[in-house]
């Protein structure tokens, strides 16, 4: 009772009637049925990309994901307590991409490394295993910051089995050495006495910064230390890693090297349980490889907390669930309410996140978006696609504003689709929204070429990327699968077993179709839909020109090398090279939405 009074007092003095971030719209939906606990259980996150404030907008489906990281901490604390009461294990796992994606990771006004402050918030969660993502490795400063300020906190729980960093050798000043970014593996015993061997694996990422090194997964499993680490049979293998758990359409995320690790372990241990926690493709997904091995991943942007449970002792079996991250979900599964849910540490984390957002001015309004624009629900040239807004309106407008001295030459702005990260919702468009749509800071380079060359750049770049993707796919080992795709089963039939109410009561959200048994989503929704992306390089509307007319082909520094390669192929003799490219404007890519909103949305 005493504890409850102090919680309420603290909540009121912090001005939180019910935690989450100020202004967040709470969900009205509830989970359909309780979780099925096993003797070993996992909660997992991946690709959080800085969304520690949760999703605060009121437009659907944002309220589904309105809990912040403080709420999540309270939830995990209650769940760990429930596990102790039940005498079972509950492990918390993250599969990487903590960087790049919101004002908390990208909005630092001091130029400090990306995610430096948000990583401190993550250390308040009791993760048992974390793995690195590709976004931790685009900049050496980020990777070094991870090693110096994030890894030490975890005491061997942050696993990078195939990622190294070059640092100066403390033993021999002036010399460099290559060291693992985190720990290569972890062997530990759970609270209930289970022996676990864990690895953290990244796909063979090749766009990493100089000074970081990613070993291919083929090479990893041949290492003597790896063979030695898997030699002793544990009671279970826990593999966290930043690769999707099955094949994807998009060549950029179709980097599933899990079968290589799976077979390497299965050669030695035919029936030891293997639990794989994937990431990178930003989808909810699950597949069963054999009777003792399952691979699962939990989406993106703190929209999903995944749940996986298994009975290792009594009759086998597993269950999995994708939880929407809102307080209803958290209350329901911990049998708490607004009064009893929040822990002191959870409230403190909520308050500290809000204070940082305030300090960095993340709620500053740049303008008022007149409608919704979606990333995944529709595609260019649909008028509700964020790609349409970006390519047809934002880029041409902002580049013209940023380089008036070049207004006499037509322009073609080329951008990679993957840089656009999220929806824009009708209403205030803030500094934080700018980072959620386009967090990456790039210069705009340009080359002036005849239209005969300029008009072929996008198609040629996409063709090259597609060919490389095909080559990779041909080499890829296929994950074994016990279950056949169940996609032909209408989701609605399955839904009726878990939801008995009328359809109009359903809210918009994910309806997951994965390869594991039974209905996967924790809260039943009307399907928000979505699409697979295939092409990556896209452009502003091509002008009407003659082949000899000159045009400025403009592109961000992130894709400068592939575009330069294409230009040199299409326009031989020019010898373009990235370091000598001129800059088109002083405006950078992560400022274009601010400039546009200030100009057009006020």
Considering only CA atoms, which of 325, 436, 333, 334 is closest in space to residue 20? 325
133 versus 454: smaller Cβ distance to Zn ion: 133
Positions in the binding site for Zn ion (CB under 5 A): 47, 97, 133-134, 280
Nearest-angstrom CA–CA distance, 546 and 452: 8
In this structure, what DSSP letter does residue 559 have? G
Joined tokens for residue 344 = 């002191």
SS3 194: coil
CB 249 within 8 A of CB 208: no
Of 51 and 307, nearer to Zn ion (C-beta) is 51
For residue 270, what are its two tokens? 């035919």
CA distance 215 to 202: 9
| Residue nearer to Zn ion on the CB measure, 19 or 302 | 302
Q: Which is nearer to Zn ion, 97 or 522 (CB)?
A: 97
R_g over Cα of the chain: 24
Q: From the CB of 473, what's the least distance to Zn ion, in Å? A: 18
Give the three-state DSSP class for 477.
coil
Distance of alpha carbon 260 from alpha carbon 243, whole angstroms: 12
DSSP label of 148: I
Q: Measured from the CB atom, is 136 or 433 closer to Zn ion? A: 136
Token reading at 207: 């766009």
User: Rounded CA gap, 598 and 365, in Å?
Assistant: 9
Q: Which is nearer to Zn ion, 134 or 146 (CB)?
A: 134
DSSP for 393-442 reads IIHHHHHHHH-GGGTTS-EEEEEEGGG----B-SEEEEHHHHHHH-----
Instruction: Work out how close the CB of 134 gets to Zn ion at its nearest, in angstroms, rounded to a whole number.
Output: 4
C-alpha span between 571 and 546 (Å, rounded): 17
29 vs 98, beta carbon nearer Zn ion: 98
Q: Angle at the Cα of 97 (from 95 to 103), degrees rounded to 5?
A: 140
Nearer to Zn ion, 89 or 97 (CB): 97
Q: What are phi and psi of 385, to 5 degrees?
A: -90, 135
Closest separation in Å from C-beta 202 to Zn ion: 9
For residues 299 and 512, give the distance between their C-alpha atoms in angstroms, rounded to a whole number.
Answer: 10
Bridge partners for 347 per DSSP: none
Question: Among 42, 174, 161, 35, which residue's Cα sits nearest to residue 96?
Answer: 161
Q: Residue 341 gets which letter from DSSP? A: H
Beta carbons of 476 and 203 less than 8 angstroms apart: no
Q: How far is the CB of 49 from Zn ion (least distance, A)?
A: 6
Shortest gap between Cβ of 214 and Zn ion (angstroms)?
12
For Zn ion, the closer of residues 158 and 596 by Cβ is 158
Find the helix or strand (DSSP H, E) in which 358 lies: helix 344-359
Q: Which of residues 121 and 499 has its CB atom nearest to Zn ion in the complex?
A: 121
Beta bridge partners of 444: 556, 585
Q: Toward Zn ion, which CB reaches closer, 244 or 273? A: 244
Q: Phi and psi (nearest 5°) for 89?
A: -95, 145
For residues 60 and 241, which CB has a smaller minimum distance to Zn ion in the complex? 241
Contact 67, 79 (CB under 8 A): no
| Beta carbon of residue 205, minimum distance to Zn ion (angstroms, whole number) | 8
Q: Which residues are CB-contacts of 224 (< 8 A; sequence separation ≥ 6)?
A: none
> Which residues pair with residue 368 across a beta bridge?
428
CA angle at 472 for the pair 304 and 290, rounded to the nearest 5°? 55
**Number of neighbouring beta carbons within 10 Å of residue 221:** 22
Separation between Cα atoms, residue 334 and residue 171, nearest integer Å = 50
Q: Which residue in 342, 274, 481 sits closest to 18, CA to CA? A: 342
């Amino acid at each position: 009772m005493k504890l409850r009074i102090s919680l309420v007092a603290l909540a009121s003095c912090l001005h939180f009637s019910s935690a989450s971030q100020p202004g967040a719209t709470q969900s009205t939906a509830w989970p359909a049925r309780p979780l099925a606990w096993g003797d070993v259980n996992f909660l997992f996150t991946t690709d959080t990309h800085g969304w520690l404030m949760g999703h605060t907008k009121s437009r659907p489906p944002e309220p589904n994901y309105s809990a912040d990281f403080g709420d999540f901490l309270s939830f995990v604390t209650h769940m760990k307590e429930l596990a102790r009461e039940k005498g079972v294990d509950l492990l918390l796992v993250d599969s990487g991409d903590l960087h790049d994606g919101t004002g908390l990771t990208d909005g630092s006004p001091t130029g400090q490394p990306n995610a430096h402050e948000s990583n401190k918030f993550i250390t308040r969660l009791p993760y048992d295993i974390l793995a690195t993502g590709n976004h931790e490795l685009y900049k050496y400063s980020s990777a070094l910051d991870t090693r110096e300020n994030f890894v030490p906190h975890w005491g061997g729980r942050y696993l990078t089995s195939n990622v190294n960093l070059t640092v100066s050798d403390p033993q021999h000043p002036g010399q460099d050495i290559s060291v693992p970014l985190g720990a290569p593996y972890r062997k530990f015993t759970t609270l209930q006495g289970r022996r676990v061997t864990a690895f953290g694996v990244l796909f063979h990422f090749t766009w990493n910064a100089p000074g970081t090194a990613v070993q291919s997964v083929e090479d990893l499993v041949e290492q003597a230390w790896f063979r030695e680490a898997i030699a002793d049979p544990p009671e279970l293998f826990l593999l966290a890693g930043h690769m999707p758990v099955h094949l994807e359409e998009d060549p950029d995320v179709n980097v599933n090297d899990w079968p290589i690790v799976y077979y390497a372990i299965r050669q030695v241990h035919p029936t030891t349980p293997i639990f794989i926690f994937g990431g990178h493709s930003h989808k909810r997904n699950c597949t069963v490889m054999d009777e003792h091995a399952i691979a699962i991943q939990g989406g993106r942007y703190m929209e999903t907390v995944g749940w996986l449970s298994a009975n290792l002792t009594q009759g086998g079996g597993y269950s999995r669930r994708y939880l929407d991250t809102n307080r209803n979900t958290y209350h329901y599964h911990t049998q708490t309410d607004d009064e009893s849910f929040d822990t002191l540490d959870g409230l403190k984390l909520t308050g500290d996140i809000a204070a940082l957002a305030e300090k960095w001015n993340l709620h500053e309004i740049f303008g008022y978006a007149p409608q919704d624009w979606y990333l995944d629900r529709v595609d260019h040239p649909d008028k509700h696609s964020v790609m349409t807004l970006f390519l047809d309106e934002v880029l041409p407008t902002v580049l013209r504003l940023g380089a008036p001295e070049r207004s006499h030459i037509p322009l073609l702005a080329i951008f990679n689709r993957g840089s656009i990260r999220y929806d824009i919702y009708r209403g205030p468009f803030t500094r934080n929204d700018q980072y959620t749509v386009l967090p990456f800071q790039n210069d705009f380079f340009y080359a002036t070429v005849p239209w005969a060359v300029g008009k072929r750049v996008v198609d040629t770049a996409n063709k090259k990327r597609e060919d490389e993707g095909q080559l990779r796919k041909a080499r890829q080992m296929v994950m074994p699968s016990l279950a056949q795709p169940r996609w032909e089963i209408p989701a609605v039939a399955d839904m009726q077993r878990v939801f008995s109410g009328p359809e109009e009561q359903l809210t918009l959200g994910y309806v997951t179709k994965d390869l594991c048994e039974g209905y996967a989503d924790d809260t039943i929704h009307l399907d928000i839909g979505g699409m697979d992306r295939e092409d990556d390089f896209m452009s502003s509307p091509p002008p009407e020109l003659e082949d000899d007319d000159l045009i400025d082909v403009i592109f961000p520094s992130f894709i400068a090398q592939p575009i330069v390669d294409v230009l040199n192929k299409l326009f031989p003799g020019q010898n373009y090279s990235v370091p000598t490219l001129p800059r088109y404007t002083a405006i950078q890519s992560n400022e274009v939405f601010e400039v546009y909103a200030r100009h057009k949305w006020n």
